[in-house]
Structure 1
């Protein structure tokens, strides 16, 4: 499939990184963007690599996962269309803190550090957006830490499923479907539990008709009941 040589200002304007920019600024952003279509399962960058570019998903989805010193991997978050990733390396130690892997065929845009800093200098709204995005993600991390400290596995899995539905869910005749492939290990990692425990919980919910899975695609059939389980753990 051919790739357009440039992103339209309309597409850029809908992205979290460039919201609030006038058309002239969006055209400047598009002029220096590098577009690349990435096949499923390709590693876009690896943990520890030099962070030379800021990335954003135009179409598709990306999994961000981090490895510990023992080699164990954990999912940090998923990046869907319209979201940025890899940018934090440009503002910290210059190294990507995690791997980025395409969950499906993905169209990504990227900007070099010099290009992004020049755009921020010329259009300060981009810098404000970066701060807002990082703040929102920090808030999510804080919520996950609180859940780990105060709730049991079932409640954490419920929060995880609802959070993913809120970030990447769309309505279907069967319920709220999460738009990218989702392994049970992914849910376990984000919820901070074991694969065995997450699988047991999800299988129980599926048997009860609360959700359904098909080819790693999860659909929440009864969001209100999943929300009730999550809220029961809030006290």
Structure 2
């Protein structure tokens, strides 16, 4: 098993383990291991048994489902550094992954075996409380997303997404493809392309090889709140 300061740093920065003390972080690090996942490689497929909880250390993981015909991907979300992948699946009555996941770019993940994680929940109450807080925040995010999909225009949803990526990853973050962005924002690729172009022409964002810089976050925030 990998047990190093790097592992504890990854755990400490994860929203899932926000606020945990040294004893809990050390216990998690003792059972965790690092795993490389090259761009385009599959982390798991829908229906696979849940064998680990994954935290992204570096890179981006796409979580998606296939349409009933198996021809089109429906992107559910993208998980960047320090975020958990399919955390809820660990606690399903039938622990199988409800979607597929693959690396959008060369990635490094921290894997915590499911059985070991569940044992730690039983012996470390602070870890259980952290998990409850995480799930409550996640539910709030889903309600907020539903509100945005129903009541806000594509430009506002796109601006909010870009600001969220900026906050999580800093300037020069990598942008997913327009079809992937469209699935995340509840629209079509043509609308995403059009709105990205508008933000670029207005000087609110800079684009270079699918990487984004935001020079005036306050101006973009006005678009997000429109």
TM range (shorter): 0.7 to 0.9
For 1:161-176, what aligned pairs fall within 5 Å after superposition? 161-166=162-167, 168-170=168-170, 176=171
Q: Do 2:53 and 2:112's aligned partners in 1 also have CA atoms closer than 8 Å?
A: yes
For 1:152-167, what aligned pairs fall within 5 Å after superposition? 152-166=153-167
Q: Deviations over 1:74-129 (max 9, x none)?
A: 22222222221122112113121222211222221112221011111111222222
Equivalence for 1:58: 57
Q: Do 1:182 and 1:218's aligned partners in 2 also have CA atoms closer than 8 Å?
A: no
Alpha-carbon distance in structure 2 between the residues aligned to 1:100 and 1:70: 18
Unmatched segments (≥5 aa) in structure 1: 171-175
Alpha-carbon distance in structure 1 between the residues aligned to 2:81 and 2:152: 31
Equivalence for 1:105: 106
Residue 17 of structure 1: how far off its partner (Å): 3.1
1:18 matched to 2:14: no
Label 1:30 to 1:206 Cα distance change in 2 as closer, same or farther (>3 A): same
Look up the SS of the partner of 2:225 in the other structure.
Answer: helix
Label 1:68 to 1:225 Cα distance change in 2 as closer, same or farther (>3 A): same
Q: Give aligned pairs, total.
A: 222
Equivalence for 2:28: 29
Equivalence for 1:88: 88
Residue 181 of structure 1: how far off its partner (Å): 4.0
1:227 matched to 2:221: yes
Equivalence for 1:173: none
Look up the SS of the partner of 1:78 in the other structure.
Answer: strand
Residue 194 of structure 1: how far off its partner (Å): 0.3
Taking structure 2 as the reference length, the TM-score comes to 0.87
Unmatched segments (≥5 aa) in structure 2: none
Label 1:223 to 1:185 Cα distance change in 2 as closer, same or farther (>3 A): farther
Label 1:156 to 1:12 Cα distance change in 2 as closer, same or farther (>3 A): closer
Residue 55 of structure 1: how far off its partner (Å): 0.9
Equivalence for 1:177: 172
Q: Do 1:58 and 1:108's aligned partners in 2 also have CA atoms closer than 8 Å?
A: yes
Of residues 185, 192, 201, the one that matches 2:186 is: 192
Of residues 195, 204, 214, the one that matches 1:210 is: 204
Q: Do 1:40 and 1:105's aligned partners in 2 also have CA atoms closer than 8 Å?
A: yes
Alpha-carbon distance in structure 2 between the residues aligned to 1:111 and 1:41: 22
Label 1:149 to 1:24 Cα distance change in 2 as closer, same or farther (>3 A): closer
